[in-house]
């Protein structure tokens, strides 16, 4: 078990991180559904794979649950972090669906050279791609991301040292939940050119990954969002349009990203 505590002063809640277990299936799958919404990705299989490789990743749970709460609350998941090596998992339905999903949106939103670059990188088995997943509910503060990422880096280094799954890859692939002010840049062909200062990241720390990405583009999920999964987003009463931002980040940039996380997220 790895512990990290973040206190929400308004409601006085502390969170703790644990290794992923079979009891976390429903919570992880629910968070994956919030990411993919109605996209054709087998989130059940993806959840199973993340649980099977439990030497990688952590789940966030409430530190103390009141005695009068339901027993199920003890296993309620508020977030998780993990990584799926898409190259190692080639041939599994969810890995192929994830690659098909981002390639299809890349074709719709990017120039042909970008599509070809992404396709080439995803097919290159000599340089594996790791799909980094860091999902949490909106009420969990960004500060918890620092110890989670630090622990994940330790686990990945140990996996590489012991030749376990996920131990070797050259790129991080991320699909981030982002938002842009509604009415701005509504042309579908322009989503890939969205300026960073116009994007708002649901997970604030993922902006640092965005800065180091060698390939990045956005696509709208407004038609897939609803009040159950996506919510109706607004900031300061300004309506926001939900997007997904795809990023491919070289692994050798991770030290710089971690330095940024320490600078901005240390409590």
Q: Read off the pLDDT band of 9 (50, 70, 90).
A: very low
Most confident by average pLDDT, 4-8, 12-16, 203-207, 238-242: 203-207
pLDDT, residue 182, reads: 81
Structure tokens at 72: 């199920």
For 10, the token pair is 């308004």
The pTM of the full predicted model, rounded to 2 decimals, is 0.87
Q: With residue 112 as reference, give the H or E element that holds it.
A: helix 112-123
Beta partners for 173?
A: 131, 248
**Sorting pLDDT into bands at 50, 70 and 90, what band is 250?**
very high
Instruction: Tell me the percentage of the chain whose pLDDT exceeds 70.
Output: 81
Percent of the residues in the chain that have a pLDDT greater than 90, as a whole number = 67
By mean pLDDT, which of 15-19, 116-120, 234-238, 243-247 is the weakest? Answer: 234-238
Nearest of 160, 166, 190, 16 to residue 82 by alpha carbon: 166
Closest CA to 114 of 222, 242, 247, 211: 247
């Amino acid at each position: 078990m790895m512990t990290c505590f973040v206190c929400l002063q308004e409601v006085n809640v502390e969170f703790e991180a644990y290794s992923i277990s079979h009891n976390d299936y429903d919570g992880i799958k629910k968070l994956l559904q919030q990411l993919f919404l109605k996209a054709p990705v087998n989130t059940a299989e993806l959840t199973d794979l993340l649980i099977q490789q439990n030497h990688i990743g952590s789940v966030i749970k409430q530190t103390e649950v009141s005695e009068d709460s339901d027993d199920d609350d003890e296993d309620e998941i508020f977030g998780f972090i993990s990584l799926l090596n898409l190259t190692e998992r080639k041939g599994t339905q969810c890995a192929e669906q994830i690659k098909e999903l981002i390639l299809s949106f890349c074709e719709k939103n990017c120039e042909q050279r970008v599509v070809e670059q992404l396709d080439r990188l995803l097919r290159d088995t000599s340089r594996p791609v790791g799909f980094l997943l860091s999902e949490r509910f909106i009420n969990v503060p960004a500060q918890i991301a620092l110890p989670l990422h630090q622990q994940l880096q330790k686990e990945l280094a140990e996996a590489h040292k012991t030749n376990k799954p996920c131990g070797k890859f050259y790129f991080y692939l991320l699909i981030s939940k982002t938002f842009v002010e509604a009415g701005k840049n509504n042309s579908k062909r322009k989503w890939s050119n969205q300026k960073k200062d116009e994007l708002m990241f649901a997970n604030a720390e993922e902006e640092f990954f965005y800065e180091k990405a060698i390939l990045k583009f956005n696509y709208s999920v407004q038609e897939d969002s609803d009040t159950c999964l996506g919510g109706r987003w607004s900031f300061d009463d300004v309506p926001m349009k939900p997007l997904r931002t795809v990023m491919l980040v070289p692994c050798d940039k991770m030290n710089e990203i971690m330095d940024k996380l320490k600078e901005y997220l240390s409590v």
